[in-house]
Structure 1
Amino acid sequence: MSYVIGIDLGTSAVKALLVDKNGTVAAEATRSYPLFHERSGWSEQRADDWVEATLESIRELVTSGSVDASAVEGISFSGQMHGLVLLDVGGSPVRNAILWNDTRTTEQCREIERTLGDKLLSITRNPALEGFTLPKMLWVRQYEPQSFEKAVTFLLPKDYVRYRLTGELHMDYSDAAGTLLLDVAGKKWSEEVLAAFGLPASLCPPLVESHGMVGTLLPEAAKRSGLSESTKVFAGGADNACGAIGSGILSEGLTLCSIGTSGVILSYEKDESSDYKGKVHFFNHGKENAFYAMGVTLAAGYSLSWFKKTFAPNESFDQLLSGVGDVKPGAGGLLFTPYLVGERTPHADSAIRASFIGVDGSHERIHFARAVMEGITFSLGESVHMLRSAGKSIDKIVSIGGGAQNPVWLQMQADIFDATVVSLENEQGPGLGAAMLAAYGCGWFDSLEACAKQFVKYADEYKPQPEAVKTYKDLFAIYQQIYTQTRGMNEALVAFR
């Protein structure tokens, strides 16, 4: 039997999957690494910690799976987006990596907007947000000039790990799209953006397709991982792009709902013609010459985790949500907005905070639990609404993450989104997408679609219920007013936090 390995480099840990030609996960391994918050709003990691954790995870896969190294044909990667890794002439990081959830760069975002104006959206297809890479680069140049002067190139997190394994510098289009330096439609580094900020083109690594082979393992990497030096290494993609691949989102009409700590609505785009005017993200897909539009809820699963930690710390999620299906849609007139850490789509607002609206004496804890679930789904429904308002047809949604573990929540998604919602038999998310890119790159299949037919299996299907759809449509109209009505109050409360 032949195998491929999919590496998912997350914010808190790396997960490695050993997958055979049938799409069966033969083994998996995980290693965590520290996250540093030196100051409020800062979020950093040591890039070499990713490398160590990845090599250890691969070695565990090979040994625990009792697999001969020669049977592993290829390896590919999924990675947390936007993180800045600056390398010196010797290929070593000049400082810690600045991550996607770092918010120190508001000043630089405003500078980007002033400098580029309308060209920002026409070239990069995305607004200037703190999470993106270019603002981080400008911050380092402004506040740590000595570090920036040492930098000769930059990479994103998974690209640095791959570089250490192969000695080759590359970046794929799906991850490059999140830097604010890529001409997304033209699939090239933007000379105009680089020139506007006085950045040399040499700072940007060569671009490659996600399924493109970029090398084989260096002797030291092969020795430490337990793999053969001849193992083929493929570029991989951004975590959301790989999550889409691993969920079979590879054609028009398919949309992904992912509820993890944050939440994502991601819809396949066959070309670059759609124009959402920066209201949702627009990135290159991991599938060649395809794209995706994406809306983000910052505190999706985090909102439910916060509720449990605060009001039921000694209970399991199953205990917390027991009976939630007996509460009618609308939670007895109780609404929740999941703005615990601000919001991304459709309100890019770091100051807004969460609200419970409509509380009365009849409400019990189970009503609040249902309201939290509904509020998270309403927030994701904002992205669905925006995509539909731009002419996008959304009929079938594949649901993954924590929101796909609870049948009540899956039905809730179908009713709020007014679309058929399906779960997956063996959900492995971005790691499986990375493995699929390796399988396609190795020539196991003639397309990613053919690979998905073998690797991605649908499970239960949930149809929208007309009565619940109507109730939620009416409630959604009220939900959409809460942001505007509470924005001023939340801005005033910032001084008291």
Structure 2
Amino acid sequence: HLGRRQRAGQRRVRLASAGQDLSASFTVTKWAWLTEHEPEAARAVKAVRLPHDYLTERLTGEGTTDRGDVSGTGWWASGTEAYDEEILARVALDPALLPRVVRPGEVAGTVRDGHGLPFSKGTLVAAGTGDNAAAALGLGLRPGVPVMSLGTSGTAYAVSQRRPADPTGTVAGFADARGDWLPLACTLNCTLAVDRVASLLGLDREAVEPGTDVTLLPFLDGERTPNLPHSSGLLHGLRHDTTAGQLLQAAYDGAVHSLLGALDLVLDADADPSAPLLLIGGGARGTAWQQTVRRLSGRPVQIPEARELVALGAAAQAAGLLTGEDAAAVARRWNTAAGPVLDAVERDEATLNRITGVLSDAAPLLERDAASR
């Protein structure tokens, strides 16, 4: 029940410190929930580790993490690249419970003896990182190259040499795995939402048809970009001659519209608007996804042939640790981003403007829907 000015002031503090607005998905907010609702469990905690930190500690016996994954906890300050003592004090978390943050290229430890580990004692262990940071590393991304990942949820990101702090809270100011930054925005409704629409219509996911003025906002599970966490899907412009294939295409259009809006916020103002958009994730193999991204972005679209980019990022990090090279340079030498490039086509401004208009007109309805939940 804070006043509006006080809430806005606290939000500015969070953005300045952590580089992002802290939502329920961050580790710090989960810890705050635990201390409030299960205080005995919180008091019994001996250490706090992210999943990959646990694996590193299992291998080495040392509690370490990396700047990429720790930047998503909410208790690491991107400005100082250190744990934020003020935030830790607010959530009553002892910094002694947290792992040491390993710098890019630094050895996290060596494999310890015994404990049933299938590795030789003394083997070097790299710091690891989060999935998106590992995929960026696996692609050998250079600053400003846009990436759109089409999975159950969709993400848009690019490596940046400037520390991001988006005042809208849409872009998370994550660190990357090699010393730069990885501004990233996420949508909840991507391939899963479109596949659900295809299932409801009894269609194959590729059975799209052009030529429609129907608009479908596929916010089937709420949405993060735009920030409508309790919204539901919305269909507008349905007519007697609308076909099932046109409805399916409208679902693709709605999902890609959200992702492109996120990408506009992610990219620096001086990013090259004609640079190919790298399309990765499960949806990147689908023709309907490729053509929708191509038509609505107006950019050339490149589909890397390499599929396990997160694993390739981990391999590049390990190789860099052994050779002393920049891990991203290792990945570029492996040519992991190689793949077909679809030429740019004229951007479909009419569809983009129609979806933007429906979204604007529907905002009061979506907000009422949220309030009713």
**Fold-level match, TM-score > 0.5?**
yes
Q: Read off the aligned partner of 1:264 and give its amino acid letter.
A: T
User: Deviations for 1:213-254, whole angstroms, at most 9, x for unmatched residues?
Assistant: 222333345x45x332333221111111111112232x1231
261-270 or 203-212: bigger deviation: 203-212
Q: Pick one of 311, 317, 326 that aligns with 2:201.
A: 311
Q: Which residue in 1 is equivalent to 2:156?
A: 265
- Counterpart CA distance in 2 for 1:131 and 1:391 is 30
Q: Which residue in 2 is equivalent to 1:39?
A: none
Secondary structure class of the residue paired with 2:80: coil
Q: Pick one of 73, 78, 81 that aligns with 1:187.
A: 81
- Whether the 8 Å contact between 1:295 and 1:383 is mirrored in structure 2 is yes
User: Quick check: 1:359 aligned with 2:238?
Assistant: yes
- Counterpart CA distance in 2 for 1:200 and 1:392 is 41
User: Deviations for 1:64-98, whole angstroms, at most 9, x for unmatched residues?
Assistant: xxxxxxxxxxxxxxxxxxxxxxxxxxxxxxxxxxx
Shift of 1:493: 4.1
Q: Which residue in 2 is equivalent to 1:478?
A: 354
- Whether the 8 Å contact between 1:115 and 1:196 is mirrored in structure 2 is no
Q: Pick one of 305, 312, 318 that aligns with 1:438.
A: 318
Q: Pick one of 232, 241, 244 that aligns with 2:124.
A: 232
- Whether the 8 Å contact between 1:113 and 1:120 is mirrored in structure 2 is no
- Counterpart CA distance in 1 for 2:316 and 2:77 is 26
User: Quick check: 1:248 aligned with 2:127?
Assistant: no
- Whether the 8 Å contact between 1:338 and 1:379 is mirrored in structure 2 is no
Distance 1:305 1:220, change over 3 A: farther
Q: Read off the aligned partner of 2:10 and give its amino acid letter.
A: L
- Whether the 8 Å contact between 2:137 and 2:331 is mirrored in structure 1 is no
Q: Pick one of 24, 45, 49 that aligns with 1:151.
A: 45
- Counterpart CA distance in 2 for 1:183 and 1:495 is 33
480-489 or 299-308: bigger deviation: 480-489
Shift of 1:484: 3.5
- Whether the 8 Å contact between 2:228 and 2:366 is mirrored in structure 1 is no
- Whether the 8 Å contact between 1:426 and 1:457 is mirrored in structure 2 is yes
- Counterpart CA distance in 2 for 1:118 and 1:475 is 35
Q: Pick one of 305, 308, 312 that aligns with 1:428.
A: 308
User: Deviations for 1:264-320, whole angstroms, at most 9, x for unmatched residues?
Assistant: 110110132x543233111111112x00111111111111221233333xx7xxx44
Shift of 1:496: 7.2
- Whether the 8 Å contact between 1:217 and 1:229 is mirrored in structure 2 is yes
- Whether the 8 Å contact between 1:253 and 1:396 is mirrored in structure 2 is no
Normalised TM-score (structure 1): 0.69
> Which residues in structure 2 correspond to 1:367-386 (within 5 Å)?
367-386=246-265
- Counterpart CA distance in 1 for 2:69 and 2:253 is 31
Q: Which residue in 1 is equivalent to 2:176?
A: 285
> Which residues in structure 2 correspond to 1:46-61 (within 5 Å)?
none
CA RMSD of the aligned region, Å?
2.6
Q: Which residue in 2 is equivalent to 1:450?
A: 330
Secondary structure class of the residue paired with 1:219: coil
Q: Pick one of 188, 204, 224 that aligns with 1:298.
A: 188
- Counterpart CA distance in 2 for 1:185 and 1:461 is 37
- Counterpart CA distance in 2 for 1:398 and 1:139 is 37
Secondary structure class of the residue paired with 2:239: coil
- Counterpart CA distance in 1 for 2:7 and 2:332 is 40
Q: Which residue in 1 is equivalent to 2:71?
A: 177
Shift of 1:447: 4.5
Q: Which runs of 5+ in 1 are unaligned?
A: 1-106
Q: Which runs of 5+ in 2 are unaligned?
A: none
Q: Pick one of 461, 474, 478 that aligns with 2:341.
A: 461
Distance 1:164 1:490, change over 3 A: same
- Counterpart CA distance in 2 for 1:150 and 1:398 is 45
Shift of 1:208: 0.7
Q: Read off the aligned partner of 1:174 and give its amino acid letter.
A: G
Secondary structure class of the residue paired with 1:459: coil
- Counterpart CA distance in 2 for 1:124 and 1:476 is 33
Shift of 1:115: 8.2
Shift of 1:188: 0.8
Shift of 1:124: 0.4
- Whether the 8 Å contact between 1:247 and 1:256 is mirrored in structure 2 is no
- Counterpart CA distance in 1 for 2:158 and 2:240 is 41
Shift of 1:333: 0.8
- Counterpart CA distance in 2 for 1:364 and 1:439 is 52
- Counterpart CA distance in 1 for 2:266 and 2:109 is 39
User: Deviations for 1:91-131, whole angstroms, at most 9, x for unmatched residues?
Assistant: xxxxxxxxxxxxxxxx99x9x95783421100101112010
Q: Pick one of 348, 363, 369 that aligns with 1:487.
A: 363
- Counterpart CA distance in 2 for 1:208 and 1:117 is 28
